[in-house]
Amino acid sequence: METNLLRDLREALALRAAADKKIDDFLMRLAQAVEQLSNNIQMFGASELKKPNKRFYTTKETCEILGISRNTLWEWRRTGKIGFTRIGSRPFHHIDHIEEYERQMLNRTRK
């Protein structure tokens, strides 16, 4: 009886070890996929994935693309950190303004 219990325990431990190995392998592949995705986002710019296909963006759209608040965007416009164009009384950001800001930030982080 005791021998059967020991054999069953050994089998259970072997099964658990095999399951742990599969889980470890999956987690390793998942970590590699996340790292690759992170590299792609850095290479292409996170905002590139969010930009709709148009030329001028509202304050709200620009904030969403850059991942910043309205107050931050207002401050950046006020200090000249990012360009903008007024159409009537409303500020708009041309795609070139956004891309230029992104290039400046990318160059700043590479130095």
pLDDT (tens digit, 9 = 90+) per residue, 22-48? 888 888 888 888 888 777 666 655 555
- Amino acid, res. 65: I
Q: Which residues of the chain are under the pLDDT cut of 50?
A: none
DSSP letter assigned to residue 1: -
Query: Would you state the pLDDT for residue 47?
Result: 54
Kindly state the percentage of the chain with pLDDT values over 70.
Answer: 83
Please, what is the end-to-end C-alpha distance for the chain in angstroms? 71
Q: What is the pTM of this model?
A: 0.49
DSSP letter assigned to residue 21: H
Q: How far is CA 106 from CA 24, 45, 72, in A?
A: 35, 9, 18
The 3-state secondary structure of 40-86, one letter per residue: HHHHHCHHHHCCCCCCEECHHHHHHHHCCCHHHHHHHHHHCCCCCEE
